[in-house]
Structures are given as structure tokens and as C-alpha cells.
Amino acid sequence: MHETTSLHDRSNGPGEEHAVIDDPHHPIARRIGDVLRNRSPRPKMILIDDLENIEQAVRSNVRLDSLYMTEGLQLPSISDTISEYGILPTHTLSRNVVDGLFGGEKRARIFALAKAPSSAKLGDLSGTQGDIVVLDGVRLVGNIGAITRTSVGFGTAGLVLLESGLRNVFDRRLIRASRGLVFALPIVLATLDEFAEYVLTERINVGTLTAHATERLESACGVAERMAIVLGSERHGVSQELGTIANHRYAIPMSPEIESLNVSVSAGIALYERNRSIRLRT
């Protein structure tokens, strides 16, 4: 059995009893399972965990389809951001159904299904303001999510992922790691060749961060034009192909006892320096 309510009604009565879906073969449970198992690079529907991420998605004009809660959850107050959607199908799932759906992955106490936004392309970054952050071979989703948040915080034009291993940027893990900000920033999956052709055609400065570069990062303040800031994985660094097209090769000054910094830390330092250059010119 299940019950569909308006989200507004549920937010007004979080302590009310609602029928619970306790059959893993229920059409609603099967639909959620289909979304979780979908590995398409262009999914039509995505799953968004946690209220904070759902609210961020709505602020970024993502269209919600339905809302789900685990049995026994005392629903926190829903912000006006979501309740403005009016009537939203809302369902309660038993713990056993939720465990069966998510298996060994993180179990969501509250989540939503939503229509997947259109994927960003390199061309979407043309004519925009701000630098572009490029991650070359960075595959840890936690790092990508942290850099997404930092990129939004410093007003970058977008994030380009090369050899990330992700099929699409609305991966459930990345949505969580970015705290929903994956919806607030153009994030492009591209090949190295596609990116190299793009920056050469658009005449965008390319600056790489490498441990052995001789140009100190502070000098990035002197570049007035927008820049593509390239960071590689902590283990392998920036690929040789990108190194050959770089206009600038920067190093972060630090103690010789430390070989390298985490890529998300390096990204934050680089974006701070570039943001400082903007403040100095204004």
C-alpha cells in the first residue's frame, strides 16, 4: 500500500501516519530501482539524496518528479523553495525496501526523483565570464565534489572533467559530494583532444599546476584574460599533452618536506589567487 500527498501538506504535518510501501516489487519501488541501475550517459531521470541537495536542485531550476522518505523519519520543515512546486507525489518506504534498493551504498533517508537537466557542453562556456577549472584524470568523486563547491564559491565559468570515469555529471555520488552544487555550475565531460581543440580555437590561456614548475602561482595575478586552470591527479599530475599547450606552468610554494597537496586544496589556492587578481584590478 502507499499514499500520495501534497508536499505542502506533509510539511505541515510531519508527525502524521502514512501508509508505507513495504513490497520491493511495488511499481514505485521498481521505478526507483530502475533509476538507480541506469548507467546511461544521458539519463532521463536522476535520484537526489538529502533535503539540502534537493533544495539546491530546486534553486537551480531542476524539475522534481516525486519525493520519498524512509519509514519512521520525522520530516524536517520543508523550505518554501520546494513547497512552491505545489502538489508533489510523496511516498514512504519501509526500511527493508530502502535497504534492498540501495544495497551496500549510502542509504538515503529522504530523496527525490527529478528530471535530468541537459548536459553542459564546451561551447556553453564560450562568451561567459570567469576562469574555467579543468581536472585532468581526477577520479575521486569526493575531490570533484569539493572542487565543484569551491568553483561555485569563486564564480568560475565552469568545470571540465577529462578522464574522470563518470558516465554523466549527475552521478548520485557527485550530487552528494558537491552538496547539490553540481546543478549550479556548468560541468562538462570531454576528451583531452576535444578540450585542446576548444582552448586553441577560443584562444583561452591555459595554466597548469605542477609541483616542479618554476613560475610561482602568485604571478597568475598578472594574467588579465580568462584562464583555463588545469589540475591533474595527485598521483599522476597533468598529462603531457596538456602540458604542451599550456601558456603558464605554475607551482604552489610550500615546504620541501611536502611533495604535493590534495587536488581540491590546490584548486582552492589557485582560485583564491585568481580571484585576488580580479580584486586588485577593480
Please give the distance of CA 239 from its chain centroid, rounded to a whole number. Answer: 23
* All cell numbers assigned to 76: 524536517
Q: Which residue's C-alpha cell is 602568485?
A: 218
Q: Which among 115, 139, 172 is the end of a domain?
A: 115
CATH number at residue 211: 3.40.1280.10
How much is the mean pLDDT over the chain? 86
**Residue 2 belongs to a domain:** no
- Return the minimum-mean-pLDDT range out of 56-65, 84-93, 231-240: 84-93
Same domain, yes or no, for 54 and 31? yes
Q: What is the pLDDT of residues 71-113, one digit of tens each?
A: 887 665 555 556 545 578 889 999 999 999 998 677 778 999 9
**Residue 1 belongs to a domain:** no
For residue 236, the model assigns a pLDDT of 79
Same domain, yes or no, for 109 and 139? no
Look at residue 282 and tell me whether its pLDDT is greater than 70: no
Same domain, yes or no, for 156 and 214? yes
Task: Label residue 45 left, alpha or beta by phi (over 0 means left) and psi (-120 to 50 means alpha).
Answer: beta
Residue span of the structural domain in which 62 resides: 7-115
Q: Could you give the C-alpha distances from 174 to 48, 170, 178, 227, in angstroms and in order?
A: 10, 7, 6, 25
Same domain, yes or no, for 86 and 127? no
For residue 16, the model assigns a pLDDT of 42
Same domain, yes or no, for 242 and 126? yes
Same domain, yes or no, for 46 and 161? no
For residue 213, the model assigns a pLDDT of 85
**Residue 103 belongs to a domain:** yes
Same domain, yes or no, for 159 and 25? no
Q: Which among 115, 143, 169 is the end of a domain?
A: 115
Mean pLDDT of 127-133: 92
**Residue 169 belongs to a domain:** yes
Q: Which among 98, 115, 132 is the end of a domain?
A: 115
For residue 138, the model assigns a pLDDT of 95
Look at residue 193 and tell me whether its pLDDT is greater than 80: yes
**Residue 272 belongs to a domain:** yes
Same domain, yes or no, for 164 and 246? yes
For residue 6, the model assigns a pLDDT of 38
Same domain, yes or no, for 181 and 103? no
CATH number at residue 46: 3.30.1330.30
Residue 20 pairs with which residues in a beta bridge?
92
Look at residue 211 and tell me whether its pLDDT is greater than 90: no
DSSP string, 81-143: HHHTT----EEEE-HHHHHHHHTTSPPPSEEEEEEPPPPP-GGGGTT--S-EEEEES---HHH
Strand 45-49 and strand 20-21: pairing? unpaired
Look at residue 48 and tell me whether its pLDDT is greater than 80: yes
For residue 83, the model assigns a pLDDT of 57
- What's the CA gap between 150 and 133, in Å, rounded? 10
Tally the domains of the chain. Answer: 2
